[in-house]
Amino acid sequence: MRVSLKDVAERAGVSIKTVSNVVNKYQHVTPAMRARVQQAIDELGYRPNLTARHLRKGRTGIIALAVPELGNPYFAELAGAVIDAAAAHDFTVLLDHTRGDREQEVLVSQGFRARVIDGLILSPLELEAEDLRGREADVPLVLLGEREYDLPYDHIAIDNVAAARTAVGHLIGRGRSSIAYLGARTDSANRPAHLRLQGWRAELTAAGLPAPDSLVGPVGGWNRDDGAKAMARMLDSGVRPDAVFAYNDLVAIGAMRVLHERGLRVPWDVAVVGFDDIAEGQFGAVTLTTISPDKQAIARLAVASLLRSLAGEGEPGGRTLSAEFELVERESTLGRR
């Protein structure tokens, strides 16, 4: 038989309201009383009916996270962090995979699952500002990534220009002077690829080093094979950098494979820095130095922003919230110690 709040209250010798306050994590309960109620909860094996709790508030208890590519370890790791952050507030996360397709991102952003979700966290690649203007869905929306929309939705990002400058500055500090950037794209100038290119160029210029177009490697996507192809094209053109800053870790891993095949040693001949700090980067033959965004902070900020909107506390103009990043130094720039 299901254990009720009344059963817990009787075991703890307190009111049902007190038990409810503890279960709902209200602050105005003394530590001694909280411990007493928690002991009764543990002894009886009480589990709150989260569905009923959310329904009483007119909610489903489900939020959605839409990302462009679940096969990309960064987004998979971010999804795990969002799930954990949402669970701390008794919410379940519904995952959606947009494949970076604009039509799919528009469909998701317009709330086609609005009947089953309380809010949406969206990481778009192709979505444009006009796609969100006049948005009719009444489901709260939080945006992730570095697209600049100037719209009334909270936006969670890291400073990509500063992060790129940190990566390139590290390579300069290691004595590298011909530093390539793998990850250029020809589409929207607000994308992270362009911001990271901007940071690459700014740091080289500040150090008095050249930043010619020959050191910029375009890519068709963000995966290992894209990095491998970009690195091969650059080497085949006769350009031999002594360092590479890659758009992300997958591009960096692909580039390192080609460098190995061409007989170039990482980091002695060519040092490499990636971006995202995915787990895979720690387990290659040469571990990868990388920019590590605080994925847990991004997830916490995104979930908190949604809950803020659900509580009616959102600001009409939206906010831009920044998460921290750090450079994680490994063998691809330091060598083995």
Looking at residue 145, which CATH number applies to its domain? 3.40.50.2300
Cβ contact 117:93 at 8 Å? no
Is pLDDT at 55 greater than 50 in this prediction?
A: no
If asked whether residues 126 and 199 sit together in one domain, one would say no
Q: Could you tell me the strand order of the sheet in which 243-246 lies?
A: 216-218, 179-184, 243-246, 271-275, 289-293, 325-328
* Predicted pLDDT at 209: 98
d(C-alpha 141, C-alpha 118), whole Å? 10
* Predicted pLDDT at 213: 95
If asked whether residues 110 and 193 sit together in one domain, one would say no
d(C-alpha 85, C-alpha 117), whole Å? 16
If asked whether residues 259 and 205 sit together in one domain, one would say yes
Residue 75, domain extent: 56-158+295-324
Q: Cα torsion at 115, 116, 119, 124 (round to 10°)?
A: -90
Q: Specify the long-range contacts of residues 6-15, CB closer than 8 Å, at least 24 apart.
A: 7/44, 7/46, 8/37, 8/40, 8/41, 8/44, 8/46, 11/40, 11/43, 11/44, 12/36, 12/37, 12/39, 12/40
If asked whether residues 154 and 215 sit together in one domain, one would say no
Is residue 165 in some structural domain? yes
Pairing of strands 216-218, 243-246: unpaired
If asked whether residues 164 and 287 sit together in one domain, one would say yes
The pLDDT confidence band at residue 210, using thresholds 50, 70 and 90, is very high
Question: Which range has the worst mean pLDDT, 26-30, 71-75, 138-142?
Answer: 26-30
Cβ contact 216:241 at 8 Å? no
If asked whether residues 60 and 130 sit together in one domain, one would say yes
Is pLDDT at 52 greater than 50 in this prediction?
A: no
What average pLDDT does the segment 89-102 reach? 90
* Predicted pLDDT at 313: 72
Pairing of strands 119-122, 216-218: unpaired
Is pLDDT at 197 greater than 70 in this prediction?
A: yes
**How many percent of the chain have pLDDT more than 90?**
56
Is pLDDT at 57 greater than 70 in this prediction?
A: no
Is residue 271 in some structural domain? yes
Is pLDDT at 145 greater than 50 in this prediction?
A: yes
Average pLDDT, the chain: 88
If asked whether residues 282 and 217 sit together in one domain, one would say yes
The one-letter amino acid code at 320 reads T
If asked whether residues 122 and 169 sit together in one domain, one would say no
Per the structure, the count of domains in the chain is 2
Residues with Cβ within 8 Å of residue 85, at least 6 apart in sequence: 296, 299, 300, 302, 303, 304
What average pLDDT does the segment 117-121 reach? 92
Task: Classify 52 as helix, strand or coil.
Answer: helix
What average pLDDT does the segment 254-258 reach? 98
If asked whether residues 119 and 178 sit together in one domain, one would say no
If asked whether residues 191 and 117 sit together in one domain, one would say no
Is pLDDT at 147 greater than 80 in this prediction?
A: no
Is pLDDT at 189 greater than 60 in this prediction?
A: no
Is residue 312 in some structural domain? yes
What average pLDDT does the segment 108-137 reach? 82
If asked whether residues 126 and 185 sit together in one domain, one would say no
Cβ contact 106:127 at 8 Å? yes
Is pLDDT at 80 greater than 80 in this prediction?
A: yes
If asked whether residues 299 and 269 sit together in one domain, one would say no
* Predicted pLDDT at 180: 98
